[in-house]
Amino acid sequence: MKAFFSPLLLIALCALVACGQGSDSETAGRPANVTPAEIRTGAEQPEQYLPLLRGQQVGLVVNQTSRVGDTHLIDYLRHKSVPLKRIFALEHGVRGDVENGGKVADGVDGPSGLPITSLYGGNYAPSAEQLADLDWLLFDIQDVGVRFYTYISSLHYLMQACADHRLPLMVLDRPNPNGDYMDGPVLEAPFKSFVGMHPIPLVHGMTVGELAQMINGEGWLDGNKRCELTVIPVAGYHKQMAYSLPVRPSPNLPNDLSIRLYPSLGLFEGTSVSVGRGTGFPFQALGHPADVKGSFVFTPRPLPGASENPKHNGSELHGDDLRDADPRSRFSLIPLLDWAGRTGEKPEDFFARAAFFDKLAGTDKLRKAVLAGNSAEEIRAMWQPQLTAFQQRRQPYLLYPEK
């Protein structure tokens, strides 16, 4: 059911296109559209990496997004006679069918018969023994450009392991679907966790390959070590390109809109408000049992492989249907500020997982500013100096034109 949008809600939706590094009332120029034929991902340039891998023992860090055209990278490399030894699985597993936070187990990849070693759920780095018989570790994972999306945290641990054990790492780069801007608070050291390991903005505007270079160059690995790194860049790509992902990057980011709304709605994971998990439109709706402002109604229910126990499971929720939001939405504080007063709860109940919210935000200043009743413009002003400094700090590591 589509909701009737009140004027206030329309204002909030319009704010979701607000420009990074600006107020929530500004509107950004939209990136130009791009078709897949106009770019070539790192994986789609075998002439760049196959000569380095032939005759070498290779470990893979891949998932369902790791493809050369319609062929999974595992199958493509086997067809090209690259000696593959094992697969390391991150959050959501090798085939992308494990829910957020779900157990990723060791096992065997059925189609290839390769052993799978889990690097999610407590064991984030491969052991010396697991790397000892490898000549290369290859990383090819589609990211979405948001600090709390954990693939870049896994990348950090992999780089550390490669640096510690002197194993070269190859990153096959892919476009960032939120790569056309930067915004949000820069992570502060006390709030470092697996959902935020680096002093970068919530929306950092970098690809995995660029971030890998920055991790190396800024000395963010323990012991100030450097990983022997090779990045195969995306050909024909610039940061203002709108990139439509051919494969969903995780079970609860099913389409382009959910990916663009993810920076704004992901923070609600630390609150009592549902983001639509347990429905067919995750990260495209907001709802709560006590809301009386929104006219959209939905009921979260368990979805195997996506949301086994969604927030407010089985309860009728009222709220906002965001499926008509602008497809090029940018990070906005308006939904958070709006909902902070919509549930009728005490602040400690609205911020139901306050410590987790602070880890997602990378600071406790955002939560405290919301509680103090600060405006979006006032809150943005708090992180603007750090955001400007980061923009300069990242320059040496960029691989693609910004305009």
pLDDT of residue 123: 84
Cβ atoms of 142 and 245 within 8 Å: the answer is yes
Task: Judge if 7-17+249-372 and 39-240 fold alike in CATH terms.
Answer: no
Q: How far is CA 386 from the centre of its chain?
A: 21
Beta strands in 66-153 (DSSP E): 67-68, 71-72, 84-89, 107-108, 115-118, 136-140
DSSP secondary structure letter of residue 50: H
| Residues contacting 18, CB < 8 A, separation 6+ | 24, 25, 26, 27, 28, 330, 331, 332, 334
First to last CA, the chain: 39
Helix H or strand E encompassing 80: none
Pair of tokens at residue 182: 């930067």
- Tell me the domain boundaries of the chain: 7-17+249-372, 39-240
**39-240, which class in CATH?**
alpha beta
Query: Mean pLDDT in each 10-residue stretch from start to end of the chain (403 residues)?
Result: 36 41 43 65 98 97 96 96 96 65 73 91 89 98 97 97 98 98 98 97 98 98 97 97 94 96 98 98 98 96 92 98 96 98 96 98 98 98 98 98 87
Cβ atoms of 299 and 316 within 8 Å: the answer is yes
Q: How far is CA 366 from the centre of its chain?
A: 20
Which ranges constitute the DSSP H helices of 187-340?
208-217, 256-265, 334-339
pLDDT of residue 17: 38
Q: Is 281 helix (H, G, I), strand (E, B) or coil?
A: coil
DSSP secondary structure letter of residue 222: G
Pair of tokens at residue 305: 């492989």
In angstroms, the CA 261 to CA 263 distance is: 6
Which ranges constitute the DSSP H helices of 243-340?
256-265, 334-339
Strands 285-288 and 317-321: antiparallel
Pair of tokens at residue 141: 């994972």
Q: How far is CA 48 from the centre of its chain?
A: 26
Q: What is the CATH architecture of 7-17+249-372?
A: Alpha-Beta Complex (3.90)
Q: Is 334 helix (H, G, I), strand (E, B) or coil?
A: helix
